[in-house]
Structure 1
Amino acid sequence: METTAGLGIRRFKEGHMFDDVATVAVEYPMTIYVNDDELVTIVCTPEYTEDLVVGFLTSEGIVRGMADIDRIEMIEATGHVKVTANFVNKFNAKYRAKRYITSCCGKSRENFYFQSDASLVESRNETDLQLQPAEIFDLMQRFEADSDIFRQTGGVHNAALCSRDEVICVRMDIGRHNALDKIYGHCLKNNISMSDKAIIFSGRISSEILVKTAKIGCGIILSRSAPTELAIEMARELNITAVGFIRGDGFSVYSGHERILEN
């Protein structure tokens, strides 16, 4: 399926109104069934949808990884995905969207989590990856060079997995969580280690994006935008390095500054 569409519009520019064609992002409702039980409908960009399914099911704790999935049948015409799994976490499948209050990392500070997230994010990240400023700027430049659909539509989120000197995998989606789940699914399917990698994200680092990064297992997240207060607090407690406002020749390190080295 196409990820973008051209639609006729009226555009105003330099004092004049005229007919034009706009490139817009396509929305695709995809309903996931696990062992014939309907689980969820995700509105996504119709690209790398199998990666999205694998990443979503694993990051939500419905399955533990690729070993629990026997078969994925994609029915593109109807937007249905039928997953056959040899193990399903029934608790997470039932309560994955239920929020509750817990103390973060045993430090007695209350935070909102999805109930099914708690067991997946409470361990501190101990990645050995360190980055120098020049490497951060280079990675961001490469990432933005691969963001064609974002530039065309302005309506998608981009995410990437990278090492110190390479952008390994770039994924985009209308849903910010979906873009990260596509990265995760790709890594799970191809047995790519994530503990020594970093995430680059195109948008704001919210608490939910921070939790998703923690569940993926990356210890560094980089963005041109800013994190929220809650995301910073959680990053500090989960030992994740959050770097924002990567623009021009500067950036801000909000947590885990020991992983960012001086040139």
Structure 2
Amino acid sequence: MSDPAPYIISPEPNAPRLTRAVEGVDHEGRIQSISVVEERPLTIFLNAQEIVTAMTIGDYPEYLALGFLRNQGMLKDGEAVLRVEYDEELETVVVRTDGQTTYEDKLKKKTRTSGCAVGTVFGDMMEGLEGLELPATQVRTSDIYALAARINTTPSLYLEAGAIHGTVLCEGPRPLVYMEDVGRHNAVDKIAGWMLSEGVGPEGKMLYTTGRLTSEMVIKTALMGIPVLASRSGFTAWGVEIARQVGLTLLGRMRGQRFICLSGEERLIRDTDPASVPQEAKKHRRKSAEDT
């Protein structure tokens, strides 16, 4: 495998600046300059209806808008997306479809969840889980360890500046696309938007995130049809309950040799001795379960 690129999807040629240098003083009173992540609003429209304003780092606004609308159940199967219009000056994205926008009542019923950034889940998203059973996809522990090592050493905004979440769509031991944002939901929605734009299906895929495995993260992954969800961080009880209900393999607290599987243990193929897996180098450590 070749050396990791700065991004598995490279930054857009005309993307806004994602970090800036800020001066401060350290504990000894010395002047220090550090990189901090940019944060800017992005307002998403579906046709003529304003849907939400998300706080985001500003890259891939079209993917973010498409993925958010898809994950909120606002883009139905078979509904054609005619075009996606991004206006950098107005900080807006308009997704235009061949259907009518009739979500005013739905917007009034939205429920704020434990998510960061755009962590809103509409009540009827839970209805989408009724009768849902994800395919029983097997997962090799050798792939888990290889992916964790690759992702944790890939140059990223997190390693440069911190204060950000990453999400990676993987297939076997291979990362397909890597997205970051100030909120883990934004990063997941960018992945969903990329899959929708590129016609990439969820079969045999795994979603890796640096964020907590909460109920809404599990719901989004399940509704995207992805059978495996993994994280460096920990779990919530409701997230585990939903994962078991729909047959989602759920792996958390992945650090070095260690991980915990709280759903789908029967689908793990333990083909690697954990003692043979090297520990993470301190400089490559990302957020731990205790940090999130």
TM-score class normalised by the smaller sequence? 0.7 to 0.9
Which of residues 178, 185, 198 is equivalent to 1:190? 198
1:259–1:251 CA distance, 2 compared to 1 (3 A): same
Structure 2 equivalent of residue 7 of structure 1 = 22
Secondary structure of 1:17's counterpart equals coil
Shift of 1:96: 4.8
Q: Distance in 1 between matches of 2:54 and 2:261?
A: 33
- Normalized per residue, the structure richer in strand is 1
1:126: Cα distance to partner?
2.6
In structure 2, how many angstroms separate the alpha carbons of the residues matched to 1:38 and 1:211? 24
| Superposed displacement of residue 121, structure 1 | 2.6
AA partner of residue 94 (structure 1): D
Q: State whether structure 2 residue 204 is matched by structure 1 residue 211.
A: no
Deviation at 1:251, TM superposition (A): 1.2
C-alpha displacement at 1:124, in angstroms?
Answer: 2.8
Partner of 2:189: 181
- CA–CA distance in structure 2, aligned partners of residues 154 and 220 of structure 1: 26
Aligned to 1:236: 244
2:51 match: 39
Letter in 2 for 1:246: M
Deviations 1:122-143 (A, max 9, x none): 3433324311211101011112
AA aligned to 2:252 is: G
Kindly tell me: are residues 233 and 89 of structure 1, through their superposed partners in 2, closer, same or farther at Cα, counting changes over 3 Å? farther
How many Å apart are 1:76 and its aligned residue?
A: 0.5
- In 2, the alpha carbon distance for the partners of 1:142 and 1:218 equals 20
Unaligned runs of 5+ residues in structure 1 are: 101-112
Following the alignment from structure 1 to structure 2, what is the Cα–Cα distance between the partners of residues 156 and 99? 25
Q: Contact 1:59/1:215 (CA < 8 Å) preserved in 2?
A: yes
Answer yes or no: is 1:98 the counterpart of 2:109: yes
Contact 1:60/1:96 (8 A) holds in 2? no
Residue 155, structure 1, aligned to residue 163, structure 2? yes
Cα displacement (A) at 1:89: 5.8
Task: For residue 50 of structure 1, report the CA deviation from its aligned partner.
Answer: 0.6
Partner of 1:170: 178
Is the partner of 1:62 in helix, strand or coil?
A: coil
Tell me, yes or no, if the aligned pair for 1:198 and 1:221 is still in contact at 8 Å.
Answer: yes
Equivalent residue for 2:228? 220
Return the offset for 1:97.
6.5
* CA–CA distance in structure 2, aligned partners of residues 141 and 64 of structure 1: 37
- Partner residue in 2 for 1:28: 40
- Cα deviations across residues 34-53 of structure 1 (Å, max 9, x unaligned)? 22222211111111111111
Number of matched pairs: 247
> Structure 1 residues 256 and 147, CA, compared in 2 at 3 Å: closer, same or farther?
farther
State the identity %. Answer: 28
- Provide the secondary structure at the position in 1 that maps to 2:148: helix
Kept after mapping to 1: 8 A contact 2:172/2:204: no
TM-score after normalising by structure 1:
0.88
Cα 1:255/1:10, change in 2 over 3 Å = same
Determine whether 1:248 maps to 2:256: yes
Task: Specify every segment of 5 or more residues in structure 2 that has no aligned partner in the other structure, as ranges.
Answer: 1-15, 112-120, 272-292
* 3-state SS, counterpart of residue 24 of structure 2: strand
* Residues 173, 184 of structure 1: alpha-carbon distance in 2 compared, 3 angstrom cutoff: same
Residue 147 of structure 1, CA deviation: 5.0
Aligned counterparts of 2:105 and 2:19: Cα–Cα separation in 1: 34
After superposition, the C-alpha distances for 1:204-243 in whole angstroms (9 at most, x for unaligned) are 1111111111121111111111111111111111111111
8 Å Cα contact 1:96-1:116 kept in structure 2: no
* Structure 1 counterpart of 2:58, one-letter code: P
Matches within 5 A, 1:31-180: 31-64=43-76, 67-88=79-100, 90-91=102-103, 94-96=105-107, 98=109, 114-146=122-154, 148-180=156-188
Partner of 1:84, secondary structure, is strand
Shift of 1:171: 0.4
